[in-house]
Amino acid sequence: MNSYSINRRQFLYLGTCSLCACLTLGDPAFAAFEETTNNGSQGIQGSIFRNDAPQELWKWSKEAKFYRNSQDNTVTCTTCPNFCVLSPGDRSVCRSKVNKNGRLYSLCYGNPCAVHMDPVEKKPLFHFKPGSRVFSLATTGCNFRCLNCQNWQISQSKPSEVRHRDLFPGEAIQAAREEGANCIAYTYSEPITFYEYMLDTAQKAKSEGMDNLLISNGFINQDPLLKLCPYIDGANINLKAFSEKIYKKLNGGNLEPVLRTFKTLFDQGVHFEITNLVIPGYTDDQDMLKKMCNWILENVGPDNPMHLLRFIPRYKLDKVPPTPMSTLKDFRKIAMQEGVRYVYIGNTNYSPGLNTFCHNCGELILERKGYILGENNLDGNSCKSCGTKIPGKW
């Protein structure tokens, strides 16, 4: 791996542009790289990368926190439900873990390839300290193979295939402080892929009075999630569909572990919001939406905000048309009729879908113009008009 002499200011892009734009603009250290698969599968389900571990571990390697090993030096990663079984020299589905001599190592510890200052609304989190700025970071890798991935340049790459910089946990916290942030978000690719880096950073950040945000697909096993929960202050989990068939076809994953993640976050008292990308021909089914809403109401209640996102053609679904606004408006209406109290529409400028309204009296609580906040009618954590407590962390 080459060494690139860039300072923090060059690396830290302070705009609110999308990650893909950041990767292709400005300093050459942000250059995007083509996806390569080496010995891995190009299929949506993904596969182990056989005999693909680097010959020598590098300084960004750290032993994984959750795995099992056997007498023949085979290891099983237990961080996520893929349960990758790796022989010596193999690489995991997420591209970021390898078996070296019977021990499992993460190759993405302290080497982020994307670091931004972002508004918290971009995550999206609308009920968590509105207007605050967060220090966002990501390494490469993902345990899914989403056909519509927004950030495939890093999520579907190996650590050695992108340019990055050193930013170990203590340095990440220092960098966040220097940029005026009191919150770190683990985001852009899939944080479960860089679990060890995320956990150590979150623990240290929490000990220094900083907040931590998990922006994730929720495809994680119970023990790692329970270990992480005490250090996570807010989360946005992408509920990609309410169908096992579509999860496998569109994302290369499974629905049930994601639903378990929602239950665990709820039981552990972690504030979370739900994102659902409405993709024509895949997830724009009203009956599916109703089933999703009913599950949410029965298992985690009506107060967790739902973000219905407009699909924009990307990656391997670049021929699928954008979601019609009429579909999004209909979906928002249906979700609220089913009983979800706070339903937003993302990737649009549709004002009613961005603003927060009191679920009791219907008055405007918080106005949003893009990521900019306007009128604010919160009194602490309550509606000024009727005094109803508004769920969230304000």
- pLDDT digits over 209-233, tens only? 999 999 999 999 999 999 999 999 9
Peptide bond into 224 cis (omega under 30): no
Domain 114-361: CATH superfamily is Aldolase class I (3.20.20.70)
Contact (CB, 8 A) for 123 and 185: yes
The pTM of the full predicted model, rounded to 2 decimals, is 0.90
In angstroms, the CA 115 to CA 112 distance is: 7
In angstroms, the CA 303 to CA 341 distance is: 6
In angstroms, the CA 377 to CA 356 distance is: 10
Give the Å distances, CA to CA, from 262 to 62, 123, 220, 233, 298: 28, 17, 11, 14, 12
- From 368, 363, 358, 364, select the one nearest 391 (Cα to Cα): 358
Does the CA dihedral 60-63-65-69 come out positive or negative?
A: positive
pLDDT along the chain (394 residues), means of 10: 40 38 30 31 60 88 96 96 97 97 97 97 98 97 96 95 95 97 98 98 98 98 98 98 97 97 98 98 98 98 98 96 98 98 96 96 96 96 98 97
Q: Is 226 left (phi over 0), alpha (psi -120 to 50) or beta?
A: alpha
**What are the DSSP calls for 7-75, one per residue?**
-HHHH-B-S---HHHHHHSSSGGG-------TTS--STT---BTT-S-SS--TT-EE-SSEEE-TTS-E
Residue 326: its H or E element: helix 325-338
User: What secondary structure letter does DSSP report for 111?
Assistant: -
In angstroms, the CA 151 to CA 20 distance is: 6
- From 60, 238, 224, select the one nearest 149 (Cα to Cα): 238
Res 241: pLDDT: 98
**What are the start-end ranges of the H helices in 186-324?**
195-207, 222-228, 244-246, 256-267, 286-299
**Domain spans, the chain:** 114-361, 362-394
